[in-house]
Amino acid sequence: FEDCHIPIAVFLCLNTF
């Protein structure tokens, strides 16, 4: 996930790590 700019997307982005 590259949309780490949005709070909701950041959750998914961190989950991708």
What percentage of the chain exceeds 90 in pLDDT?
A: 0
Structure pTM?
Answer: 0.10
State which amino acid sits at residue 17: F
Token look-up 């950041």 returns 10
| 9: pLDDT strictly greater than 60 | yes
Distances (CA, A) of 10 to 3, 14: 7, 6
| 1: pLDDT strictly greater than 60 | no
| 17: pLDDT strictly greater than 60 | no
